[in-house]
Chain A
């Protein structure tokens, strides 16, 4: 994005957010809540307690890595909707590694678990990637379908072969020994040392996409695949590579959730978190830095909304309403902005014409 575009982007983003909150306020008022109190409760919900701060930081990490995984796909022109499945499979694979290797040093178990999560997530993303490149199957359809398969398969494992023998849960795998858990950074919050790894990952993803020759090839491939191919770039390889990394990132998020928060696999590992990350990526127009910034914003909103529900009794669905209204405005913004701009320029041209005529007459 050029600086000028960036300025207008953030201006319209700010406006969209304000409008979304205004619309949210109207809905709250109609539903009989005091909007000011509700929003105050929302801010309170995120910041009043250091535990909540830890929770939103952890959720921001999830949004950010999922969002960046989506950006990576979009960079080469692929819309990876399958991150949810890649995340779940990564989570259950990482978890089972920890269960099976119980007793080994954590310096062996953690890398193995991370590798397993990346391998499984990456492989699962490879399927739609290869299908897309080799036989031109639409990746949106395949990834959505693969999500369902992955979710059901994980549920099957957690209920059946890998079921936790000791706990009376419907579907959960064995629990990790506490020595393998990521260290919690803020007591009784979800925030763990995983966020440090995530920060490094976010930096690397940004760096590769924006600053390296490979990133340059990714960009060209996404912008105009025919031109990239024509220029001698192995576009098929680049696309597959991006899908592989994207899937591996999602798989790692699954591992972070298991080793940082849940300490076993169950379906609450992810509640459509990848889709929320994807939403952030869309609102950020697939710009990596903006994804990182917006992840914090939406994490605060979400955790704040949960706190609001508890303290003010306002259903936290208001968060979803605000989020979707922002998406709506940001999607419409492009068209509105260009038409306003074109109108202004027409006006300017007409004025210039009038001036010129005055000069020639006068």
Chain B
């Protein structure tokens, strides 16, 4: 029999107004890869934050390697051999790999001076021990995301971690990088008999990497299975508590006239670097053009330029035949474009306003909402908001609730409902289902396809490659601000390859 690495006994965690963990008991064995899945807000991160000492449970006990945890703080957890790699890396970009890894436990010379040579030697030893190849003297900012993640893992290993928690580790990785990460996980588990807990909501990854899987729903652990004994469909139903039918989306019609056209566009990012570098594309009516790119390759700046949120440096943007280069979002919307922004919190909603006011925004000047052209008709507005609310199936606190209090899924529905209600022929959609639960994803995908079938030209960008594959008629890959490939039949390997910069064919100029 194997030893128990982690044991949760009747863990409950109450946050004001919500029970994030409800009587969770779970044992995780040493030397296994345990996947924790569940919708957003199901309580997976809360449970792992308890293990890492960030949260103190309201009730219940936690044992790490047989010892009961008495004080919940990360220092204690690290001392007991727990390491956590967060979704957002916590590295100092200007420091080298070695400096990041030894941080807070720096080797010293003459008591006060940082010993860089020793730090690099220690890192090199670690690299060789675990076979996680990375250059100790390279500044972290020069590394790709996959390598940065490797540095994060090395950092936890340096601190003596035997239990490694990975919070959505593949969210920012290409398929190739994901494969490499999984190879690393398998190696440390097999050779070092480490325990790896991986939080994810990508079910195929659960199947690919884990030995056992725990499914959480609404704060409770609804099941723990051996991965070999379940399939993705079963897991999905366990997650949402009902069968999920991934219907084949019905696409009808063929592309019509060109509604978005981008010629030789150059856009600079906030640091003044060329994020989009001579890019051209075109989207036609009744077509979804998907963008596959790793975060930070210019796709955000591209969409911002098209929708007027960012002024391009050069090039031309045409929407429905009109030149809209450098125009304001208001002007471009007037031409017939709606926009689901990638960051709903900062751009997509007013968090302190009500649901009804968020739904009204953009239509608030329409005659039907204003008596004599200036006096807002409150009851008409409420009725309109209620109608949209019902149509988009936003179950929750109602139209008078403050948007900031909604769950991520409902907040996203507010954004989608508003933007889709403009009935524009052109849609620019970024990250339509980021942080949205499985049930709502289905709903949103169906709406997007509906728009496509009605003849909208849709430009879609998502960090979730599966989503891009599922919805798009055509896919382009973007790397460092340029298009590296265009596909009408999709192969994951090929597209993943293009996302990392390899161009399609030889001597192509775009």
Interface residues, chain A, CB within 8 Å of chain B? 2, 211-217, 219-220, 223-224, 226-234, 341-342, 345-346, 349-350, 352-353
Contacts and interface: CB of A to CB of B under 8 A. Distances in A.
A336 to B, nearest CB: 15
Interface in B290-337: 307, 309, 328-331, 333-334
B357 to A, nearest CB: 7
Given A212-B376, A227-B348, A350-B59, A232 B16 contact: no
A230 B341 contact: yes
Interface stretch (B242-250, B254-262, B361-369): B361-369
B329 A231 contact: yes
B16 A350 contact: no
A350 B351 contact: no
A232 B329 contact: yes
A232 B333 contact: yes
Given A219-B353, A227-B347, A350-B14, A232 B334 contact: yes
Given A213-B365, A220-B353, A233 B58 contact: no
Contact of B376 (A2, A211, A229, A233): A211
**What band does the interface of chain B fall in when counting residues whose beta carbon is under 8 Å from A?**
35 or more
Given A213-B370, A345-B16, 7 more contacts: A220-B350, A224-B349, A227-B361, A230-B341, A232-B330, A349-B16, A353-B58
B109 interface: no
Given A220-B353, A230-B329, A346-B14, A353 B361 contact: no
A220 B347 CA distance: 12
B16 A224 contact: no
Contact of B347 (A212, A219, A230, A232): A230
A39 to B, nearest CB: 39
B391 interface: no
Nearest to A208: B374
B240 to A, nearest CB: 24
B111 interface: no
Contacts of A224: 346, 349-352
Nearest to B12: A353
B59 A213 contact: no
A223 B353 contact: yes
A212 B374 contact: yes
In this complex, the member of A226, A341, A350 whose beta carbon has the largest number of chain B beta carbons within 10 angstroms is A226
B59 A353 contact: yes
B144 to A, nearest CB: 29
B201 interface: no
Contacts of B309: 229-230
B361 A231 contact: yes
Contacts of B16: 341-342, 345-346, 349
Q: List 10 A-B pairs, minimum CB-CB distance, nearest first.
A: A349-B14, A232-B330, A345-B16, A223-B350, A224-B350, A232-B333, A231-B361, A231-B362, A212-B374, A342-B16
